[in-house]
Amino acid sequence: MNQEPSPSLNLRTDADLVINEDTIDDAIRDIATRLNRHFGQSQFSHQNIVAYCIMNGGLYFSGQLLRYLDFPLQLSYLHATRYGNNTTGSDLKWHTRPNPKTIHNAHILLMDDIFDEGLTLEAIDKECRELGAKSVHSVVLTDKQHPRKPKSGFKPDFIGLEVDDRYIFGCGMDYQGLYRNLPEIYALKP
């Protein structure tokens, strides 16, 4: 059941600033440096690289990251979610699946906001592999530190920042559908 958005959330009294804008910008530039080094290798020369923004959460991060990538890529998006506007996950729902013709024989880069329990990103990675991708790499801005990760051991290839096991929002992550636009990361007060 979707919760009604709560515009009454007061960042000063209801949330803690956990990562400031400068730290996030530095992390994004660092990720871009690592991605440029990786995809600049000869094995990717003259290869089709498709970067997928995972909607909606990955939009903010993808937009910031793309500014610093210097290798040729095709940009697209897909949308699968376990959350909607809720604060807890449920079954995976596809809104926009990857295009099989675009995926087949391409190197895929999945860009998302957070690696929380990892089930959504793992399912998207699996779908891309099943559609015949040459390789699949994933990059996330944040990795939430807790033991509830995929039992398979799946994890992103590139991670920007580690965050504590709290409900966080900003930089693409939302609180009841709101605040994805914030340039910092906040956590609800305990």
Could you identify the residue written with the tokens 């910092």? 184
pTM score above 0.85: yes
Mean pLDDT score, 171-181: 94
Q: Is residue 37 pLDDT above 60, yes or no?
A: yes
Evaluate whether residue 113 is within a structural domain. yes
Q: Read off the CATH number of the domain in which 87 is found.
A: 3.40.50.2020
| Number of independent structural domains in the chain | 1
Evaluate whether residue 9 is within a structural domain. no
**Amino acid letter for position 56:** N
Mean pLDDT score, 53-58: 94
- For β-strands 158-163 and 168-169, DSSP reports them as unpaired
**Alpha carbon 99 to chain centroid distance?**
19
The DSSP output letter for 9 is -
pLDDT tens, position by position, 136-165: 999 999 999 999 999 999 999 999 999 999
Mean pLDDT score, 34-54: 96
Say what the pLDDT of residue 1 is. 36
Evaluate whether residue 44 is within a structural domain. yes
Say what the pLDDT of residue 82 is. 67
Q: What residues make up the domain containing 89?
A: 22-163
- Ranking 19-23, 28-32, 67-71, 118-122 by mean pLDDT, the lowest is 118-122
pLDDT tens, position by position, 65-92: 999 999 999 999 999 876 545 445 557 7
Could you identify the residue written with the tokens 């807890």? 88
Evaluate whether residue 141 is within a structural domain. yes
Q: How many other C-beta atoms can be found within 10 angstroms of the C-beta atom of residue 183? A: 13
In the chain, what percentage of residues exceed pLDDT 90? 79
Evaluate whether residue 11 is within a structural domain. no
Could you identify the residue written with the tokens 């995926």? 103
Task: Tell me how far apart the alpha carbons of residues 64 and 32 are, in angstroms, rounded to a whole number.
Answer: 10
Evaluate whether residue 123 is within a structural domain. yes
- Largest Cα separation within the chain, whole Å, is 52
Evaluate whether residue 177 is within a structural domain. no
Counting every residue written for the chain, the total comes to 190
Evaluate whether residue 184 is within a structural domain. no
The DSSP output letter for 158 is E
Assign 7 a pLDDT band (cuts: 50, 70, 90).
low
Mean pLDDT of the chain: 91
Task: Tell me how far apart the alpha carbons of residues 4 and 19 are, in angstroms, rounded to a whole number.
Answer: 27
